[in-house]
Structure 1
Amino acid sequence: MKCAAYVAVLAVLVRNSHEAILKLPTYLKPCSRNDSNFNACALKNGISALPKLVKGDASLHIPVLDPLRLDRIDVKQGSGPVRVELALTDVSVQGLKDADLKAIDFDLAKNTLNVNFIVKKRADVSSRYSVDGQILVLPIKGDGDFNLKIDGLEGTFKCKFDLIKKEDGKQYAKIRDNSFDFEISNAIFDLKNLFNGDKVLGDTMNTFLNENWREVYGEIKPAVAEVVRTVIVRILDEFTSLLPYDELFAA
């Protein structure tokens, strides 16, 4: 949820130079790595660039990020209060256009990056689903349309990067040792066609899910975070492979 925030952070640091492999759009403004207020500059320029990047940019290999499309999210939980097999397919996440960068921390000496962002308005997740298992004390089974509304979404992406020399003799950043974590303030579930379309049982389960959203969220969170982390890294790897390190982090 939110990949644009991390792409914007790196993008704003790129020099607009005639020597660059890519000619960057004017909405991406560079910050010098010798600037004593480097992180503040990156945050300011990242906030400015984010609305453009969410729309996607083919020249930078950045897909449209609102809605964000995910092929599949699988949750297999075999112990604890939630014991389910849940599959979400054809996933669409809307709301990233309302994301704001809150903090950026680059340490170029250690080659590390930490980014914190928040989605200001409600995010909406829709997909197809199939589920079988138990939520707390109740069994759950069904397949159909899935909708999840999320309030107060706040995420943090952390990574280290190596410098890899390519055949052109230049060094490029390669993401490694990365993680993504997120928190929310509320979740509203709506699963259609639970229990073979039994309306009474389905309504009861949806009410139960929403009354116990914290427990449900806690169980599905690791699987969702892993999918989002993978998407972020894939986008960043594409982006950093196009631009040499010395142009990505201007002197």
Structure 2
Amino acid sequence: MQLEFGLMLTFIVLASTSELPSDFKICRRSDPNLVACFNEAGQKATISLANGLKSLNVSPIEPLVIEHMSVGETHGVVALKQDFRNIKLHGLTKGLKVTGYNIDFDKLVFKSLSFNPEISLDADYTIDGRLLLLPIRGNGKANITMYNMKSTNTYYGEKFEKNGEIYMKIKKFLVKLSPEKIHLHFSNLFNGDKLLGNQMNKFLNANSDLLFNEMRAPYEETFGIVFTKIANDVFSKVPFNKIFPE
């Protein structure tokens, strides 16, 4: 469920240094320690991004608000239709660690690893289908909390010209998510039957890895779309050479 959090954070920091405290790092392409510079810049950006950057119209990401995410029905041991609305994602900037940048400025491909100790999703949900042999249905409030989330992240960019200046936009964002542990809670399962609901929530958590594997791809796709937009909101305003000076 991530987003290249660290790389996106670093991009925004570099793009808006005039609006940020003087202790934020600027990373030059010629820096022989570029990887370490990006790692540190991304780390320092988290606190400021939690509240957004008004000067560049970047909304707060603590929490990150997502309108809608759906998971279509699969045909296997998990056969669920899931719909999430009014999503609030907490924890993207808390305890974030970014490492292992691999940067290709010729092809504009940026790769990194990131770690979040806890990411929590709160949303209005609708669910219908079955998990293993058990039917499940309901609608109400849902919480999905992922612990020790590791992710691998890749941005693909391209340059374009606007008003005589060269800019960059993100064409595609790919993320692969790997949480160590997941806890789920769905309120109002089975029309509010507390006994059945409690039993099903226990069953869901006992099989949380299986359920998450079915949800992984829509999570990754949704976050890729959201963070591509955030990054491009910055890149569309700041020339490439000011974001990544030589």
- The CA distance in 2 between the partners of 1:191 and 1:143, in whole Å, is 8
Which residue identity does 1:109 align to in structure 2? D
Any unmatched runs of 5+ in structure 2? none
Give the 3-state SS of the residue equivalent to 1:185 in structure 2: strand
Match of 1:60 among 51, 56, 62: 56
* Residue in structure 2 matched with residue 7 of structure 1 by the alignment: 8
Task: State the percentage of identical aligned residues.
Answer: 26
The 1:145/1:177 distance shift into structure 2, 3 A limit, reads: closer
Find the aligned partners of 1:59 and 1:174 in 2 and give their Cα distance.
19
2:7 and 2:16 mapped to 1: Cα distance? 18
Residues 1:185 and 2:186 aligned together? no
Q: What is the 5 A alignment of 1:101-112?
A: 101-112=98-109
Please report the RMSD computed on the Cα atoms of aligned residues, expressed in angstroms.
Answer: 1.7
Give the alignment's TM-score, normalised by structure 1: 0.91
Which of 15, 32, 50 is equivalent to 1:36? Answer: 32
Q: What is the aligned partner in structure 1 of residue 139 from structure 2?
A: 143
Change in CA separation of 1:38 and 1:154 when aligned onto 2, cut-off 3 Å: same
Aligned residue in 2 for 1:239: 234
SS at match of 1:96: coil
In 1, distance between residues paired with 2:59 and 2:184?
27
Native 8 Å contact 1:130 1:142 kept in 2? yes
Q: Which moved more, 1:212-221 or 1:39-48?
A: 39-48
Asked if 1 retains the 8 angstrom alpha-carbon contact of 2:144 and 2:184, the reply is yes
- Determine helix, strand or coil for the equivalent of 2:120: strand
- 1:147 maps to a residue whose letter is N
Is 1:45 matched up with 2:41? Answer: yes
Determine the C-alpha separation between the residues in 2 that align with 1:161 and 1:246.
14
1:72-221 paired onto structure 2 within 5 Å:
72-98=68-94, 99-120=96-117, 122-166=118-162, 168-221=163-216
Report the AA paired with residue 114 of structure 1.
K
Number of the residue aligned with 2:224? 229
| Contact 1:154–1:183 under 8 Å retained in 2 | yes
Q: Indicate the larger mover: 216-225 or 92-101.
A: 92-101
TM-score normalized with structure 2 length: 0.92
Runs of at least 4 residues off by over 6 Å: none
Cα gap change, 1:2/1:39 in structure 2, threshold over 3 Å: closer, same or farther?
same
Please report how far the alpha carbon of residue 109 of structure 1 lies from its aligned counterpart in structure 2 after TM superposition: 2.1
1:145 Cα offset (Å)? 1.2
Verify the 8 A CA contact 1:142 1:193 in the aligned structure 2: yes
